[in-house]
Structure formats: C-alpha cells, structure tokens
C-alpha cells in the first residue's frame, strides 16, 4: 500500500493538521450570526468539486490500488520541495484563519458586526487563505506521485478561485465601500504588491 512510503505519511500528517485547523475555526465561529450569505448553487458546486481532489482521490491512492495505473516517479528532490511548500501552506492557512478571527466563514458570507481585516497577513495580500490553498495544491502534486491524486487540486481550485474571488471582493466593496477599494489599491490578490518609490 502507498501509505507505507515516507512522503505519503508526511502528506497524511499534513492533511490531519490542515483538517484540524479548519475544525478549530469552524468551532470558534459557530456562534457568529450571518448577516449576508451568498452560499448559493454555484458555491455549493464549487465546494463539492473540491472534495474529490482534497480527500477522496488521496484516500484512494493511499489506501487502495485503484489509482495505481496513474502512478509515476518524480526526481528525489521534488518531494523535499513539496514538503517545504506544504509547511509554508499550513503556516499561511493557520495565520490567515487567526487574522480573520470571527470574520471567517467557509463560503461568501458576512457576519453581523463584520470587520474589515487589514492586519497580519492581510496587510500584504487580500487572499492569503486562497494563496495557502494554491500552495497546498502544488505541495500535494509534489508529494503524491500519482497524476490524479497529486494534481487534481489545482484545476478544481482554479475554478473556485476564478469564480469566487470577484464575487467575494464585490461583496466586500458593497459593505466597506471606499475603505475596501483603497485596501485593494495597496494590496495584491495573492502576492504582495511591490512599490517602487520614485526619487522625486
């Protein structure tokens, strides 16, 4: 079974940490009432489409021989980079949950008394949590040496990111108006905006 290989064990440990972080923040925000929810049909499809790549395919790959036809070998150094990427992803995932605090939700939603967070990692980028999921997708591909279990997070999350982010930003603009638009001007979506200071 694939689970006996060290990089696969590493992936599994990372996955447990990832799920634990989510669980902690679902519990912490459980009591927070929602003022606006855009948890519609599209959101349900996008979230459901993330379950096979994040959970189902890795489980099939790790614990059954069903996906063995799509196994392949990567050079030795690649999983090392994957492991470092996973650690970075988990750190950013945890930090962005912590910084959002009670304002976090799994879908596009606003809480009662929702506050605009522009501190911590949100000081530099508007979507650090999505950045952490991109990193996770790359890490999974570098650790699980199977075309389906390894690389399927990236297309599924690309769809979610491209369709959700503009809607989320629009909702934030509706609530916070000029404050959010100004925040957009000084931050990047996934990477910090580089400012070149003029000499004059």
Pick 62 or 110: Cβ nearer ligand SAH: 110
CA-to-CA distance for 97 and 45, rounded, in angstroms? Answer: 23
Q: How far is the CB of 111 from ligand SAH (least distance, A)?
A: 7
- Judged by the rule CB under 6 A, the positions of this chain that interact with ligand SAH are 96, 100, 103-105, 108-110, 116-117, 122, 127-130, 168, 172
Calculate ∠ Cα 53-55-56, nearest 5°.
80
Pick 83 or 108: Cβ nearer ligand SAH: 108
The answer to whether the Cα torsion of 27, 32, 33, 34 is positive or negative is negative
Contact 67/61 with Cβ under 8 angstroms? Answer: yes
Pick 5 or 103: Cβ nearer ligand SAH: 103
Pick 122 or 136: Cβ nearer ligand SAH: 122
Q: How far is the CB of 173 from ligand SAH (least distance, A)?
A: 11
Q: How far is the CB of 159 from ligand SAH (least distance, A)?
A: 15
């Amino acid at each position: 079974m694939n689970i006996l290989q060290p990089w696969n064990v590493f992936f599994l440990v990372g996955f447990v940490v990832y799920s634990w972080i989510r669980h902690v923040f679902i519990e912490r925000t459980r009591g927070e009432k929602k003022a606006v929810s855009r948890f519609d049909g599209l959101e349900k499809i996008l979230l459901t489409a993330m379950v096979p790549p994040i959970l189902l395919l890795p489980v099939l790959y790790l614990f059954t021989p069903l996906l063995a036809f799509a196994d392949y070998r990567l050079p030795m150094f690649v999983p090392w980079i994957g492991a470092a990427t996973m650690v970075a992803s988990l750190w950013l995932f945890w930090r962005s949950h912590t910084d959002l605090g009670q304002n976090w939700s799994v879908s596009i939603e606003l809480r009662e008394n929702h506050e605009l967070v522009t501190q911590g990692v949100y000081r530099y980028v508007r979507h650090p949590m999505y950045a952490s999921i991109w990193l996770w997708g790359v890490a999974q591909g570098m650790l699980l040496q199977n075309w389906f279990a390894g690389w399927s997070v990236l297309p599924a999350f690309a769809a979610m990111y491209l369709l959700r982010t503009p809607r989320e930003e629009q909702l934030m603009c509706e609530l916070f108006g000029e404050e959010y638009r100004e925040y957009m001007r000084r931050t990047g979506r996934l990477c910090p905006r580089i400012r070149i200071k003029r000499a004059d």
